[in-house]
Amino acid sequence: MSTSGVVSLLRQIEGTGRDTRGPGYQRPGFSAVERDLRDWFLAEAARRGLDTEIDANGITWAWATPPGDDAVVTGSHLDSVPGGGEFDGPLGVASALAAFDELKASGALEKAARPLALAVFPEEEGSRFGVACLGSRLLTGAIEVDRALGLKDAAGDTFADVARGYGLDPERIGRDQSRLAGIGSFIELHVEQGIGLINTDQAVAIGSSIIGHGRWHFAFSGQGNHAGTTPMSHRADPVVAASRVIGDIPTLTAATDAGAVATVGRTLIHPGGTNVIASAMSFWLDIRHPDDAVVQQVLEAISQRAEVHSADSGVEVTISQESYSPTTLFTAELNSRLTSVLPDAPLLPSGAGHDAGILAPHVPSAMLYVRNPTGVSHAPEEACEADDQRAGVMALAKVLARELRI
Ligand code: GLV
Ligand code: MN
Ligand code: MN
Ligand code: MN
């Protein structure tokens, strides 16, 4: 086994969880597809003689040494957004397996002074239950257990029921202090999700921070009615109010701060008939900016506009926060060790959220980003060249070796 393994490892799962509606992947958290990917991971871990376990929060662990405290942990996730790319998540998992191969082949693993483990986090994207990084949030206590258990997916199934079906015990779900305390450092490798490494001669960057980001649910309710018999002046149409708000979001966001980003990527119209004036419409809003106060200002501007358009259309709007992650700086001391073994790697902030960002306030955490030549992510065009994948494995192996004090 060698570092070329990362390419063939990813090839093994390229057919799993293809989006049946078009190109890309559809790998929801805690689904049959994620379970297939977990089974693939467990088999690859077993083939390497790693000891595996699934913890109370559904996080899959594979130990390259006997488990213990002050462990060096790497890993990522296997779920995807709807219509997602091939690398967001799986690259970090496959690269970690390949890096372990590298450490073993070089004899470095035998000399390890600290335990070494790989962790695969479930529902990182939050595409099923709405809360991103659900596994790491549960592990760290960043979400209340009762709230998590009551989260519902689009089919109306609660997380408690789905978790039970996944073999978890809802009574045991939640903050796991002893497991958290056992992590000495966490390093997540991830495909770069923007244009940060395009046109540079570097295949790998070190993460500096994750910008603040949150999700809000806007629910508009009006009067369902007949599309043919209801005069335009007699309507209370939530689709009109919600669409006007969505149309105003780019201008409101840019007017608040040129660096802020706000996105509506998901809407729901109820009941959804061509000849039916809807009774309700929802959209989900994602806002991000390095300054948490700016995120709040953008939210405030959009919320005010939602009140105005709702009043104009005679509908009601309710706004609720689904999740929020403040701007997180990766651990300076750990990053200086990464820089000592990867002196040419640039430091990059991330507009994307990651489990490493959830872990960072609790344990020393860091990230490596591997060049993405398209600069596109959360879409099928996301890419990573084979040579860059191998460079990522070599970089991760160096970082892990340094952490293992070899
Ligand atoms: C997940 O990748 C996110 O940043 O939303
Ligand atoms: Mn993602
Ligand atoms: Mn990811
Ligand atoms: Mn992410």
Per-residue pLDDT, 257: 97
| 3-state secondary structure (DSSP) of residue 350 | strand
In this structure, which ligand is nearest to the CA of 130? Answer: 1
Give Cα separations from 60 to 41, 97, 218, 280 (angstroms).
9, 13, 34, 39
Nearest-atom number in ligand 1 for the CA of 350 is 4
Does 288 carry a binding-site annotation?
yes
If asked whether residues 197 and 291 sit together in one domain, one would say no
Residue 392 confidence (pLDDT) above 70:
yes
Mutate to test the pocket of ligand 1, among 79, 124, 125, 355 (most ligand atoms within 8 A of CB): 125
Half-sphere exposure of 351 (CA within 13 A, CB side): 19
Cis peptide before 271 (omega within 30 of 0): yes
Name the band, by pLDDT with cuts 50, 70 and 90, for residue 1.
very low
Q: Which residues contact 287 (CB under 8 A, 6 or more apart)?
A: 213, 214, 216, 253, 260, 261, 262, 263, 295, 298, 299, 302
String of b and e for 166-194 (b: at least 16 CB within 10 Å)?
Answer: bebebeebbbbeebeebbbbbbbbbbbbb
DSSP structural state of residue 25: B
What was the ipTM of the complex prediction?
0.92
* DSSP per residue, 239-279: HHHHHHHHHHHHHHHHHH-TT-EEEEEEEEEES--TTEE-S
Per-residue pLDDT, 353: 97
Mean pLDDT, rounded, of the chain? 97
125 lines ligand 1 (CB under 6 A): yes
Task: Using the 3D structure, point to which of 276, 297, 325 is the last residue of a domain.
Answer: 325
If asked whether residues 201 and 217 sit together in one domain, one would say no
If asked whether residues 269 and 313 sit together in one domain, one would say yes
Residue 3 confidence (pLDDT) above 70:
no
Count up the domains in the chain and report the number: 2
Which CATH number covers residue 237? 3.30.70.360
Does 125 carry a binding-site annotation?
yes
Residue 2 confidence (pLDDT) above 70:
no
Residue 255 confidence (pLDDT) above 70:
yes
Per-residue pLDDT, 34: 96
pLDDT tens readout for residues 192-224: 999 999 989 999 999 999 999 999 999 999 999
Residue 265 confidence (pLDDT) above 90:
yes
Residue 373 confidence (pLDDT) above 60:
yes
Does 79 carry a binding-site annotation?
no
If asked whether residues 111 and 199 sit together in one domain, one would say yes
In this structure, which ligand is nearest to the CA of 93? Answer: 3
What is the span of the domain harbouring residue 140?
5-211+327-403
Q: Which residues contact 318 (CB under 8 A, 6 or more apart)?
A: 218, 219, 221
Per-residue pLDDT, 164: 97
Name the band, by pLDDT with cuts 50, 70 and 90, for residue 406.
low
Task: Using the 3D structure, point to which of 278, 301, 325 is the last residue of a domain.
Answer: 325
Nearest-atom number in ligand 1 for the CA of 378 is 2
Q: Which one-letter amino acid corresponds to residue 36? A: D
Which CATH number covers residue 102? 3.40.630.10
Residues in the chain: 406
If asked whether residues 42 and 173 sit together in one domain, one would say yes
Instruction: Give the bridge partners for 329, in sequence order.
Output: 209
Per-residue pLDDT, 378: 98
Cβ atoms of 37 and 30 within 8 Å: the answer is no
If asked whether residues 251 and 206 sit together in one domain, one would say no
What would the mean pLDDT of 156-170 be, rounded to a whole number?
Answer: 97
What would the mean pLDDT of 262-273 be, rounded to a whole number?
Answer: 98
In this structure, which ligand is nearest to the CA of 213? Answer: 1
If asked whether residues 88 and 114 sit together in one domain, one would say yes
Q: How far apart are CA 269 and CA 246, in angstroms?
A: 14
Alpha-helical regions (H) of 106-195? 134-140, 145-150, 159-165, 177-181
Task: Report which secondary-structure segment, H or E, holds 317.
Answer: strand 316-325
Q: Write out the residues surrounding ion ligand 2, Cβ under 5 A.
A: 88
Task: Using the 3D structure, point to which of 272, 293, 325 is the last residue of a domain.
Answer: 325
If asked whether residues 92 and 197 sit together in one domain, one would say yes
If asked whether residues 358 and 270 sit together in one domain, one would say no
| 3-state secondary structure (DSSP) of residue 388 | helix
132 lines ligand 1 (CB under 6 A): yes
Position with higher pLDDT, 321 vs 1? 321
Q: How far apart are CA 262 and CA 316, in angstroms?
A: 22
What would the mean pLDDT of 149-155 be, rounded to a whole number?
Answer: 96
If asked whether residues 362 and 236 sit together in one domain, one would say no
> Residue 89 C-alpha to ligand 3 middle, in angstroms?
4
pTM of the shown model: 0.95
Q: How far apart are CA 220 and CA 48, in angstroms?
A: 53
Does 18 carry a binding-site annotation?
no
pLDDT tens readout for residues 40-88: 999 999 999 999 999 999 999 999 999 999 999 999 999 999 999 999 9
If asked whether residues 217 and 200 sit together in one domain, one would say no
Residue 173 confidence (pLDDT) above 60:
yes
> Residue 379 C-alpha to ligand 3 middle, in angstroms?
12
Residue 335 confidence (pLDDT) above 80:
yes
Share of the chain above pLDDT 90, in %: 98
pLDDT tens readout for residues 227-238: 999 999 999 999
If asked whether residues 201 and 342 sit together in one domain, one would say yes
Q: How far apart are CA 241 and CA 399, in angstroms?
A: 51
Does 88 carry a binding-site annotation?
yes
Per-residue pLDDT, 176: 98
